Structures are given as structure tokens and as C-alpha cells.
Amino acid sequence: MTSISVAIRQVLEATDPYAKVKAARAAARGWRKGAFGPADGSAMPDRPGRPAAPELLAPNLMPRRGKAGSQRARIALLHALAHIEFIAIDLAFDMAGRFGASFPDAFTSDWLAVGADEAMHFALLDRRLRALGSHYGALPAHDGLWEAAAETAHDPLARLAIVPMVLEARGLDVTPDMIARADAAGDVATARILRRIFEDEIRHVGAGTKWFEYGCNAAGEAPGFYWRALVGRHFRGSLKPPFNDSARRRAGLTRDYYQVLASLSISPSGEGVRDAEGLRPGQ
């Protein structure tokens, strides 16, 4: 039986966005149906396939979105979110392919399901962009999120600590405000998409927290203490309030994890979705 690692590499190597979405859905569906054997620990690509557009810029060179509430600002926000979700497909599949052989098969199941969710989120956001006269790739973006994968490629607990438990958790903090602004602007379609993403991301952060705690227990590490050590070692960014404590708690990410680091106010970063985009891995 073919290892799921083969299908995961196909997802990661796909360059066309919709080819990546199609491959992600097919891999997750095949795994659920028992069409693949377990992850075999084979090497994953250092860098996933990327389309020719969007142009990738350094975070400090990203153009401003325009006047709040304008059509230009709305499209720029949706494009930024679509880019986050596109990169998140690869983050989830790389998690399963790179580390799945070291965990029970349920780990692979969880991260393939997360990757399929991210593919669906990307498709919804790109469809919304097209309804507004734009599309994914029409604006520049940056690659800061994949830097977190490169920084933690050697260590599954570091990857779990940084990607779902810092980067995705930040989305839980900022998305409710984006939903409220979409509702206030009468943009019902965007608000509906953001609500779907928000609920799914709680499960994604929950998967990260669950497997981080599993790995810590296996290694004899105290989860909260070890998480803070890994964040300090691999993350160059801020953990700053306001936090959506209730959503984080639903994901199992309690204040015991992050409140101490937040009170230290390490390396301030931007706000809103720029914060979710611009979080940087450590050196």
C-alpha cells in the first residue's frame, strides 16, 4: 500500500493554487477511506511549490491597504487572508508528512483534516475575491509564515508550539473584530466566511495543543514551561493582549501557557491581520 507520505509530497510540490487545493482534498479523503498506509518518515520538500503570483515581498515593503472601509481595503484584507490560508495548507501537510511517522496515526489524521480545512478556506476567500473583481495573486504578499516552518523543521514540538499555538492562536484573537467590521459594513458574505474560519481554527489550535501536550508527556517535559522555552528560542515576535481567552480556552490553550510571556511584552509587532501575517520565527 502506498504511504500517505507520497500524497503529502504531491500537495507540497503543487504550484498552482487550485491544483494544491485539489491534491489536499484528495489526500485527506483517501486517508479517511484507508487508501494509504502510514507516514513513512521520508523527506519532505524544504520549500513547497508556489505560483508565479503573488509577488512575495519583505514584510516592511508590503503596501498599505488603503482607507478603512473602502473596496480597496476590503480586497487587500481578503487577499492577505487568502495568502495565510494558502500557506496554511502546506503548513498542515508538512506537519503530517515531516513528523507523522513519530506519532500515532491519529496525528496524521488530525493534520490532514486541518490541511483540508485550510484548502476549503482558501477556496472560499478566493471565490469572494473574484466576486469583488479581484483574485488571489493580484496583490503582493510575503512569506513570513513559511519561515516558521523552516525554523522548526527539526523538531515537532517546536513546530507545534509556534505554528498552531502561536500563529494560528493569534487568528483567534483578531478574527472576531474582522467579523464585526464586515457585519458593520453590511458585507454578509465575508462575515459568513470569517465565522466559518474562526470556528475551524479553534479546532486547529486544539489539535496543536493536544499533540504538543502528548509529546511533552512522552518526553517528560512540563507543557507550559517547555512551550515558553520553545517560543523564546524559535519565535521573534510579540505575544500581546488583547487575547480571546474564551476561544483559546476552547482549544485547550489556557492562560497558563501565554500570560507570563505576554506580560514581558517581548518584541512588539503590528496589529490586526498584519500581526497574524507578520509574526516572525526566531533566529
Q: What is the pLDDT of residues 147-196, one digit of tens each?
A: 999 999 999 999 999 999 999 999 999 999 999 999 999 999 999 999 99
pLDDT at residue 142, rounded to an integer: 87
**Max avg pLDDT among 101-110, 227-236, 262-271:** 101-110
Average pLDDT across the chain, whole number: 91
pLDDT digits (tens, 9 = 90+) for 3-32: 999 999 999 999 999 999 999 999 999 999
Whether residue 270 has pLDDT greater than 70: no
Q: How confident is the model at residue 144 (pLDDT cuts 50, 70, 90)?
A: confident
- Mean of the pLDDT values across residues 116-136? 98
pLDDT at residue 48, rounded to an integer: 97
pLDDT digits (tens, 9 = 90+) for 52-101: 999 988 777 777 776 666 888 999 999 999 999 999 999 999 999 999 99
- Mean of the pLDDT values across residues 117-139? 98
Beta bridge partners of 280: 236
Got the DSSP string for 42-103? PPPPSS----S-SPB--GGGPPP--STTSHHHHHHHHHHHHHHHHHHHHHHHHHHHHHGGGS
Using alpha carbons only, what angle is made at residue 88 by residues 84 and 90, rounded to the nearest 5 degrees? 130
- In the block, residue with C-alpha cell 473602502: 70
The Cα 95–Cα 100 span in angstroms is 7
Domain ranges of the chain: 1-38+68-140, 142-170+201-283
pLDDT at residue 268, rounded to an integer: 35
Beta bridge partners of 235: 281
Burial class (CB in 10 A: 0-12, 13-18, 19+), 143: middle
Give residue 186's Cα distance to chain centre. 27
pLDDT at residue 110, rounded to an integer: 98
Whether residue 278 has pLDDT greater than 70: no
- Are the CB atoms for 208 and 171 separated by under 8 Å? no
pLDDT at residue 66, rounded to an integer: 61
Whether residue 280 has pLDDT greater than 60: no
